[in-house]
């Protein structure tokens, strides 16, 4: 997964995030996988469902 600098992250449009408050940036599939892993560790069931739907919409190949 490529690292996003603060400058790069700030330039991303809101549509490239899957969490509340511009959390979980998903500009590419590796970041999408990472978002799913992090939300599984730290998110509530509702947050997990929301992030999963968002990621699957952007990257259909990640559907279960």
Q: What is the per-residue pLDDT across 9-51, written as a single tens digit (0 to 9) for each?
A: 999 999 999 998 999 999 999 999 999 999 999 999 999 999 9
Examine residue 2 and state whether it is found in any structural domain, yes or no. Answer: no
Examine residue 4 and state whether it is found in any structural domain, yes or no. Answer: no
Number of folded domains in the chain? Answer: 1
In terms of residue numbers, what domain contains 45? 18-62
Examine residue 34 and state whether it is found in any structural domain, yes or no. Answer: yes
DSSP at 11: H
Distances, alpha carbon 16 to alpha carbons 1, 19, 50, in Å: 16, 10, 14
Q: What is the pTM of this model?
A: 0.89
Examine residue 41 and state whether it is found in any structural domain, yes or no. Answer: yes
Band (pLDDT 50/70/90 cuts) for residue 63 is confident
Examine residue 26 and state whether it is found in any structural domain, yes or no. Answer: yes
């Amino acid at each position: 997964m490529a690292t996003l600098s603060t400058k790069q992250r700030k330039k991303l449009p809101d549509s490239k995030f899957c969490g509340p408050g511009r959390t979980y940036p998903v500009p590419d599939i590796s970041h999408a996988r990472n978002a799913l892993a992090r939300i599984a560790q730290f998110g509530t069931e509702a947050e997990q469902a929301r992030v999963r739907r968002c990621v699957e919409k952007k990257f259909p190949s990640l559907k279960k």
